[in-house]
Amino acid sequence: MKNIQQLFQSEDGNITQREQLLGFVEKILTSMDSLKDPNKTMLGPIQERSANFYKEIMEDFEVPEEGRGMNQVVGELTDLMKGHPYHTRNFVTNVLPMASIPGVLGQLTNSLLNGNNLWDVYGPAAAESEVKVISMMSKLVGYDFTESFGYTTWGGQGAVFSGLRMAIAKQFPHAKEEGVPNNLYCFASENAHYSLLKSVEAVGIGSNHLVRVKAGADHSMDMEDLKMRLTEVIEKGGIPVYIVATTGATDNFAIDDVKAIKEMATTFEEKYNLKPIHIHADSALGGFYAFFNDYDFANNPLHFERDVLVSLQNIRERMQYISLADSLCFDFQKLGQTPYLTSLFLVKEGKYLGLLDLEDFDTPYVGNRGYGSYHTGYTLECSRMGSSIAIYAALLAFGKAGYQQLLANYVRVNLVFREQLAIRIPSLQVVNEPNIGPVTAYRYYSKGLNWQGEQSGSYMLAQVQEINALNASLFEVLGKHRDDVFFGDTTRVCTVAVSDSDELVPVAAAKFFSISPYTEVEHIPAMIDSLQQSIDTLEALHLETVY
Ligand SMILES: *Cc1c(COP(=O)(O)O)cnc(C)c1O
The 10 Å Cβ neighbour count of residue 166 is 23
Q: How far is the CA of 353 from the centre of ligand 1 (A)?
A: 22
Residues 6+ apart with CB under 8 A from 5: 11
Q: How far is the CA of 524 from the centre of ligand 1 (A)?
A: 27
CA distance 126 to 115: 7
CA distance 199 to 165: 9
pLDDT digits (tens, 9 = 90+) for 415-467: 999 999 999 999 999 999 999 999 999 999 998 999 999 999 999 999 999 99
Q: How far is the CA of 327 from the centre of ligand 1 (A)?
A: 15
pLDDT the model gives residue 547: 46
Q: Of all protein residues, whose CA lies closest to atom 7 belonging to ligand 1?
A: 155
Q: Are residues 398 and 419 in the same domain?
A: no
pLDDT digits (tens, 9 = 90+) for 119-135: 999 999 999 999 999 99
CA distance 254 to 436: 8
Residues 6+ apart with CB under 8 A from 278: 163, 164, 166, 167, 170, 241, 242, 243, 326, 327
Domain encompassing residue 246:
105-403
- Residue ranges lining ligand 1, Cβ < 6 Å: 155-157, 193, 195, 246, 250, 282, 284-285, 331, 343
Please check whether residue 40 lies inside any domain of the structure: no
| Ligand 1 closest atom vs CA 195 | 10
Burial class for 15, CB neighbours closer than 10 Å (0-12, 13-18, 19+): exposed
**φ, ψ for residue 62 (rounded to 5)?**
-150, 165
Pairing status of strand 327-331 against strand 278-282: parallel
Q: Are residues 23 and 130 in the same domain?
A: no
Torsion, Cα 283 288 292 294, to 10 degrees, reads 70
Please check whether residue 425 lies inside any domain of the structure: yes
CA distance 128 to 135: 11
Domain count, the chain: 3
Q: Are residues 258 and 124 in the same domain?
A: yes
Residues 6+ apart with CB under 8 A from 492: 251, 506, 507, 508
Q: Which of 92, 93, 97 is nearest to 519 (CA)?
A: 92
CB 217 within 8 A of CB 191: no
Please check whether residue 92 lies inside any domain of the structure: no
CA distance 20 to 18: 5
Q: Of all protein residues, whose CA lies closest to atom 3 belonging to ligand 1?
A: 156
The 10 Å Cβ neighbour count of residue 354 is 11
Q: Which of 164, 191, 255, 331 to mutate to test the pocket of ligand 1 (most atoms within 8 A of CB)?
A: 331
Q: Are residues 386 and 298 in the same domain?
A: yes
Q: Are residues 396 and 419 in the same domain?
A: no
Q: What is the CATH number of the domain that holds 387?
A: 3.40.640.10
| Ligand 1 closest atom vs CA 158 | 9
In the listed set 403, 438, 471, which residue is the last one of a domain according to the structure? 403
| Ligand 1 closest atom vs CA 247 | 13
Please check whether residue 94 lies inside any domain of the structure: no
The pTM (predicted TM-score) of the whole model is 0.96
Please check whether residue 89 lies inside any domain of the structure: no
**SS3 breakdown of the chain: % helix, strand, coil, rounded to 5?**
45, 15, 35
Please tell me whether residue 428 adopts helix, strand or coil conformation: strand
pLDDT the model gives residue 229: 98
Q: Are residues 452 and 376 in the same domain?
A: no
| Ligand 1 closest atom vs CA 331 | 7
Q: How far is the CA of 184 from the centre of ligand 1 (A)?
A: 24
Averages of pLDDT over each 10 residues, the chain, 547 residues: 91 96 97 97 92 93 95 97 97 94 98 95 96 97 96 97 97 94 98 96 97 97 98 98 97 97 98 98 98 98 98 97 98 97 97 86 66 87 96 98 98 98 98 97 96 97 97 96 96 97 96 97 98 96 66
Q: Are residues 143 and 202 in the same domain?
A: yes
Residues 6+ apart with CB under 8 A from 381: 118, 153, 154
Please check whether residue 455 lies inside any domain of the structure: yes
Which neighbouring-strand residues pair with 320?
none
Residues 6+ apart with CB under 8 A from 435: 218, 219, 249, 252, 253, 254, 255
Q: Are residues 415 and 346 in the same domain?
A: no
Pairing status of strand 428-430 against strand 91-92: unpaired
Q: Which of 282, 380, 385, 435 to mutate to test the pocket of ligand 1 (most atoms within 8 A of CB)?
A: 282
Pairing status of strand 210-213 against strand 184-189: parallel
Mean pLDDT estimate for the chain: 95
Q: Which of 250, 322, 333 to mutate to test the pocket of ligand 1 (most atoms within 8 A of CB)?
A: 250
In the listed set 350, 385, 403, which residue is the last one of a domain according to the structure? 403
Q: Which of 154, 285, 329 to mutate to test the pocket of ligand 1 (most atoms within 8 A of CB)?
A: 285
What DSSP assignment string belongs to 490-531? EEEEEEEEETTEEEEEEEEEEEEE---TT--GGGHHHHHHHH
